[in-house]
Amino acid sequence: MKSYLAQLEHFYVSNGYIEGLVITGDSPASITLIENHLDKTDEILVVYILSKFFVNPNERIYKSIESEFFECLNKMKMFNERIHIDMKIRETLKILNNNQQQESMKKSDKRGAEFTLTCFFCLTSINQDKPDQRNPFVNKDNVPYVI
């Protein structure tokens, strides 16, 4: 089984197929896979996004891809798009980090963890006790609106 997985990993890494990231994860082989994918396809946007999730920020290629991507967007005068992409990736990474923290808390707490619901877009926590976050179809006296 291990030799077959090693063969698969070598095939995906050497050919630069991003599907191989399922096998490589965030290992050093993923860096080579992403580099080969960039050399093969020139898909800088895809490589930029993948590097945010599969490459350690301390690696040389991480900053190299980021600067090359930003330079491309700047040359095309796509400043707003650059800001928007960067903002969305930061939000996604923040959500993933929060989910990982909740999972680790859930595993460490034998009694069960308390969960909080957050809005995907603005990352505001949603609380049932707040009056402005109750059912919008019920007035302040908890009487449903008639439509």
Residue 95 near residue 119 (C-beta atoms within 8 A): no
Q: Please tell me whether the overall predicted TM-score, pTM, comes out greater than 0.85 for this model.
A: no
8 near 20, Cβ under 8 Å?
yes
| Per-residue model confidence as pLDDT tens digits over 8-41 | 999 999 999 999 999 998 888 999 999 999 999 9
pLDDT, tens digit, for every residue of 102-135? 777 666 655 555 556 676 666 667 665 555 554 5
Domain segments of the chain as ranges: 2-77
Give 47-81 pLDDT, tens digit per residue: 999 999 888 888 888 999 999 999 999 999 988 89
